[in-house]
Amino acid sequence: MADFHHGARVIEVTDGVQSIATVATAVIGLLATAPDADVTVFPLNTPVLLTQLQASLAKAGTTGTLRKSLQAIADNVSAPVVVVRIEQGVDEAATTSNAVGGTDANGRYTGVKAFLTAEARCGVKPRILGAPGIDTEAVTVALATVAAQMRAFAYATCFGCDNVSDVLAYRETFGQRELMLIWPDFITWDTVANGEATDFAVARALGMRALIDQKYGWQKTLSNIVVNGVDGISKDVYWDLQTAGTDADLINEKGVTTLIGRNGYRFWGNRTCDDAQFIFETYTRTAQVLADTIAEGVFEYIDKAMHPSLVRDLIETINAKLRSLKNAGQILGAKAWYDPALNDPSNIKVGKLVISYDYTPLPPLEDLTLQQTFTDTYLADFAAAVNSGS
């Protein structure tokens, strides 16, 4: 470039505050069996991305859990679904082993662990995981474990539970914040059997979770939204909006979501299997979304020269995103800052930087009290109102 120029020069600088995009959350991961599925479309233990669910049913076969689960999801939402088809075993134990999965002789992940490779294979990361119809206790443990690794959330049934007592005892098995247990199942019309049949509530939960993410956002829980495609509940669950101590209350209090009928059929419950800080589904998902959104959003800053101005830009980039989430009503508040106590010069010298941020998620309105008072106050003007004709 010539040193002398009579005029103006324009140098485009790309440093400064970056824009951060929120990670996609309405992506379903479905583990299923389908002995008669098209093996070219649904190879075993291989993540397959579906974007046209209704059209995919023709290749899903009629046996196993795949077709039924895909239909349940399609009844409620149009969203990406990553399917991992496993081999149906000779009995429940064998199917459970196939679902829990591991690593085969070729080093490939199998069963639920195959979701760990979904992003590399399909280009999308499943955030909503389930194995409707095959989610035994062992499979649910595996789902919750993989969900924690992926910053995803798993939904599972209270497998084999026939009554409220069974549900409360089953709940004690789990303590993961990435897991919501559901009981009982729905009833729907089975077009293959030409009659009413039990319908996997978990499959409907996967579809509803994706729908809610699309329509309202991840800060809204699964609870109290009408579920499409169902016409009953498989077990009697006593519920009343104004009465405490019902079956639904007992189940919800212990961290299990149930089903109710009120102007349609709905999921009823907000809680995870964590009894401590992350008690609500949305608390966990907010933590996951923020962690991945912020981490992925600062990628462009990695390996740049660590000048103080770069650190200021980085902090403002994060704060700009946090402000936008607050303004959108997805968090109550959040802030990022530089803490000198966490950034010793010896660490700065070797390229290490710590940026701190905090946040407050939105709690669901789970318990509303309406205070009603009987009063004579409004009788004071009774005579005046009669005489004035008002």
The domain that holds 183 is classified in CATH as 3.40.50
Cα distances (angstroms) measured from residue 4 to each of 19, 53, 79:
36, 64, 58
Check whether residue 216 and residue 312 sit in a common domain.
no
Residue 267 bridge partners (DSSP): 259
Q: Is residue 53 part of a domain?
A: yes
Check whether residue 254 and residue 116 sit in a common domain.
yes
Q: What is the pLDDT of residue 1?
A: 47
Check whether residue 95 and residue 60 sit in a common domain.
yes
Check whether residue 278 and residue 307 sit in a common domain.
no
Give dist(CA 154, CA 170) in Å, integer. 16
Check whether residue 307 and residue 209 sit in a common domain.
no
Residue whose C-alpha is closest to residue 152's, from 171, 131, 125: 125
Q: What is the pLDDT of residue 174?
A: 98
Q: What is the pLDDT of residue 23?
A: 79
Check whether residue 307 and residue 188 sit in a common domain.
no
Q: Residue 284: what residue type?
A: T
Q: Where is the domain boundary, 247, 282, 317? A: 282
For residue 141, the SS3 value is: helix
Q: Is residue 175 part of a domain?
A: yes
Q: Is residue 69 part of a domain?
A: yes
Q: Are strands 333-338 and 355-360 parallel, antiparallel or unpaired?
A: antiparallel
235 and 157 Cβ atoms separated by less than 8 Å: no
Q: Is residue 236 part of a domain?
A: yes
Domain with 321, as residue range(s), is 303-360
Check whether residue 210 and residue 69 sit in a common domain.
yes
Check whether residue 159 and residue 308 sit in a common domain.
no
Q: Is residue 17 part of a domain?
A: no
Q: What is the pLDDT of residue 337?
A: 97
Q: Is residue 265 part of a domain?
A: yes
DSSP 89: -
Check whether residue 314 and residue 250 sit in a common domain.
no
**Token output for 252:** 């919800």
Give dist(CA 7, CA 4) in Å, integer. 10
Q: What is the 3-state secondary structure (H, E, C) of 62-86?
A: CCCCHHHHHHHHHCCCCCCEEEEEE
Check whether residue 102 and residue 249 sit in a common domain.
yes
Check whether residue 276 and residue 308 sit in a common domain.
no
Exposure string (b/e) for 171-187, b if CB count within 10 Å is 16 or more?
beebebbbbbbbbbbbb
Number of domains in the chain: 2
Q: Is residue 374 part of a domain?
A: no
DSSP-assigned letters across all residues of 312-356: HHHHHHHHHHHHHHHHTTS-SEEEEEE-GGG--HHHHHTT---EE
Residue whose C-alpha is closest to residue 131's, from 201, 56, 230: 201
Residues across the chain = 390
Give dist(CA 373, CA 383) in Å, integer. 22
Check whether residue 144 and residue 208 sit in a common domain.
yes
Q: What is the pLDDT of residue 8?
A: 59
Around Cβ 71, how many Cβ atoms within 10 Å?
A: 20
Q: What is the pLDDT of residue 365?
A: 97
Q: Is residue 126 part of a domain?
A: yes
Residues of the chain with pLDDT under 70: 1-18, 389-390
